[in-house]
A = this chain, B = another copy of it.
């Protein structure tokens, strides 16, 4: 069976108006742009979407706007990350009712959670909805690290967890997920600089904000690997690597992607305080990186 989610799964940002409201028009425009560019799925309200910084009503508005705008052109997976189980359940139900194809669930810590607490959190969400769950591990932002054996156990014991997203950037985690399930758990890579090797190791998809800025290079990497063209994949990966490293290393994804969209002509506003817009110096570097990649002969020829 072909998984519903595969290939390039793109995160939109959450644009804000000048008075810090949700800018629905800019959100729609960013989604339309990435679908037109050919991405295989849309993932609103992820880390890039500043979901952690939204009020509940803003979150609901963003989820509904994004799902409606996609309009079934590609599948939609909505990010769910809330400190309390109660509100995570509420958001998951909201996303399902609004038409999401799946939810991507990241447990969040203030106090560290033990495995029983994490399991119960996932189970409560799973029981409240009927759409699939993509289990999401990202200790750098969430403060919680779920190791592959525990992930494999949850996939086995909780019915609608059917996908795993790994964002540690550690390729050995993917090896372990593969071996623990004889290659049967579809896993997705959430670490941009690992995009090439994760696909090689068997990842089903790449969850990334990069298609906001360089969708063609992202898609070409996936195509080259699908076609078994190892030298071509290596070339297109190393070409885009400086940008992939830049967007995760300089102030975080929201400020960087918003700055990059502005360079492309779409004003998505500022990230929400305490996050600050990308510095002028970094905007200049990003602008230069984007210009270089647009002029790449490989990409031009493709």
A residues near B, CB below 8 A? 20, 47, 52-53, 83-86, 107-114, 116-118, 120-121, 124, 141, 143, 169, 171-172, 175, 178-179, 183, 193-194, 196-197, 200-202, 225, 228-231, 234, 238, 241-242, 251-254, 272-276
Contact = CB atoms under 8 A, between A and B. Distances in A.
A230 B225 contact: yes
A86 B273 contact: yes
Contacts of A252: 111-112
Contact of A274 (B118, B178, B225): B118
Contacts of A228: 228-231
Contacts of A275: 111, 113, 117
Contacts of A53: 83-84, 110
A111 B254 contact: yes
A169 B175 CA distance: 13
Given A200-B230, A276-B117, A241 B107 contact: no
16 contacts: A47-B111, A85-B274, A86-B273, A108-B110, A109-B141, A111-B141, A111-B252, A117-B276, A118-B274, A120-B274, A124-B273, A171-B197, A196-B200, A197-B200, A200-B200, A228-B231
A276 B115 CA distance: 11
A146 to B, nearest CB: 13
A203 to B, nearest CB: 11
Contacts of A52: 83, 110
Given A47-B111, A200-B200, A254-B111, A84 B273 contact: yes
B193 A274 contact: no
A84 B274 contact: yes
A234 B201 contact: yes
Given A179-B242, A201-B234, A254-B111, A117 B274 contact: yes
Nearest to A254: B111
